[in-house]
A and B are shown apart, each in its own frame.
Chain A
Amino acid sequence: MIDKILPSAEAALADIPDGATIMIGGFGDAGMPAALINALIAQGASGLTIVNNNAGNADAGLAALIKAKKVRKILCSFPRQTDSWHFDKAYRAGEIELELVPQGTLAERIRAAGAGVGAFFTPTAYGTRLAEGKETRRIGNRDYVLEYPIHADYALIKADRADRWGNLTYRKTARNFAPIMAAAASCTIVQVRETVELGAIDPETVVTPGIFVKRIVKH
C-alpha cells in the first residue's frame, strides 16, 4: 500500500544532507512551507543551495534559514526587498552566493528540469547583463538566450489538500512555484493543511499528481 503521509516534519526531512540543493515554494508568505523550513533549521543541514523566488522576508521562514547561516548559495529573481535584511547582511558579508535569474526564466528552468528538457531558448534578458556569457541564437526574427534546467535534490512545498498517493490541490495564489518544483526535485516533501481519503479529491481538480510527491506532512 502506498502511504506517503509521515507523522512529522522531522521524519520527513531527516535524510537531507549538508550541501543539498533544495527548492522552497512560495512567493513571499503565500505558499511558503513554514513548518518544513523550521524543521530544516532544526535538522541542521548546512551549506545548502536554495531555489526560491526571493531571499527571505522579515525574520521567519527562508529568512530564518539564512540567518542561521545554513545557506551557501541562492538562486532567485528578487532578493532585495524592504524586509530582506538577513539576506542583505549575509550577501554584503560575502557569506552567500547569489545567482540572479529573471523570474520567468527561473520558472521555466524549473519546469524544464521536471519535464526532462535539456535546455531551451528564451527571449528574456537578451541584450542585458543577465545574458552575458550565455549562448544566444537568432530564430526567425528574434534573438534568444540558451538557458539550462535547474534540478534539485529536494523540494519543500506547501499545498492545501493531499491524499495518501500524494495528489495535491492548492489554495489561490499560494500555488505559485509548487507544481513545477514538485516535478523538478528528486524528493518532494509537502506540507498540507489537510489530508483526505483517497478519492476525496476529484481527479479533474488534481493540480499536482502524486507521481511528483514523495512525502506528506500535515501541519
Chain B
Amino acid sequence: MNKLDRNQMAARVARDFPDGAYVNLGIGLPTLVADHLPKGREIIVHSENGVLGIGPRPAPGQEDGDLTNAGKEPVTLLTGGSYFHHADSFGMIRGKHLDFAVLGAFQVSIAGDLANWHTGGADAIPAVGGAMDLAVGAKQVLVMMEHLTKAGESKLVERCTYPLTGARCVNRIYTDLAVIDVKPDGLHVVETVEGLSFEELQRLSGVPLKRLATAA
C-alpha cells in the first residue's frame, strides 16, 4: 500500500478547506498543513496567541520575535491580517467562529472522544495549552495522526485509555492510511490510500468501521 508521508497527509487535509475558511492548525504535525493550502483559495489561519491571517514562514533573517504562532515559531502576517489579545482569541475559539481546528492525537475513540494532551504517566508533567478549547470550540474538529502507534497498535480505540481532551468532539480523522468520518453510529471510512482495501484497514484498526456509501 502507499502510506501517506507527513506532507501528503497535510496536503490531504488542506484539500478539504473551502475558500474563505477560518482554520486553526495545532502544534506539531497539523502545522504542516499551512504549507499545503490550495492555491487560489483565501484560507485564514488563526493562532491561539492572538493572530488571524498567518502567512508563509519568514525568509531566513526576516524573523520577528514579536510575530509568532502558537508553537512559538516565527511567522508572517498576510495583508488583511489582525492581532488581538488572548481572551478574544479564545473567545473566537469557544464562540464557534472557527470553521476547522486540526489537532494531533494519541487516541480517538469510536464515539469521537479525543485524547491528545497527557499520557497519564505518573511522572509525566502535564501540559494542555489550547487543545481543550479547540476541541469544544471549533465548528469542525479534524484529527491528523498516524493510524498506528510505533508499536503497531491502532490509535482508533473503543474507549480512550489516555486522559480525554474532549468528549465526542472529533468530526473527521485523517491518517496515513485513510480518511474517516465520526458519525453518531460510528466510524465511516471516506477513503483509503492506494493499495489498501477496506478489509485490511478494518483488520489494522481493530475497531468496527463502516463503509461510507460513496467510498470505493
Q: B-contacting residues of A (Cβ < 8 Å)?
A: 27-31, 53, 57, 77-81, 87-88, 91-92, 98, 100-105, 107-108, 110-111, 122-130, 170-180, 207
Q: A-contacting residues of B (Cβ < 8 Å)?
A: 47-51, 64-68, 72, 77, 83-87, 89-91, 93-94, 118, 123, 125-133, 136-137, 163-167
Which residue of A is nearest B85, CB measured? Answer: A179
Which residue of B is nearest A179, CB measured? Answer: B85
Q: Which of A53, A127, A172 contacts B83 (CB 8 A)?
A: A172
Chain A hits for B50, CB < 8 A:
27, 173, 175-176
Q: Which of B64, B68, B90 contacts A107 (CB 8 A)?
A: B90
Bound Cα distance from A28 to B27, whole angstroms: 14
Query: Are B85 and A104 in contact (CB-based, < 8 A)?
Result: no
Chain B hits for A180, CB < 8 A:
85-87
Contact sample, A vs B, 22 pairs, CB 8 Å cutoff: A27-B49, A27-B50, A29-B72, A30-B66, A77-B130, A78-B129, A91-B125, A100-B128, A104-B93, A104-B132, A104-B133, A108-B91, A111-B87, A123-B136, A124-B94, A127-B164, A128-B166, A129-B118, A171-B66, A173-B50, A173-B83, A177-B85
Query: Are A102 and B85 in contact (CB-based, < 8 A)?
Result: no
Query: Are B133 and A103 in contact (CB-based, < 8 A)?
Result: yes
Bound Cα distance from A217 to B47, whole angstroms: 30
Known contacts A30-B49, A126-B136, A128-B163; decide if A77 and B128 are in contact (CB<8 Å).
yes
Query: Are A122 and B72 in contact (CB-based, < 8 A)?
Result: no
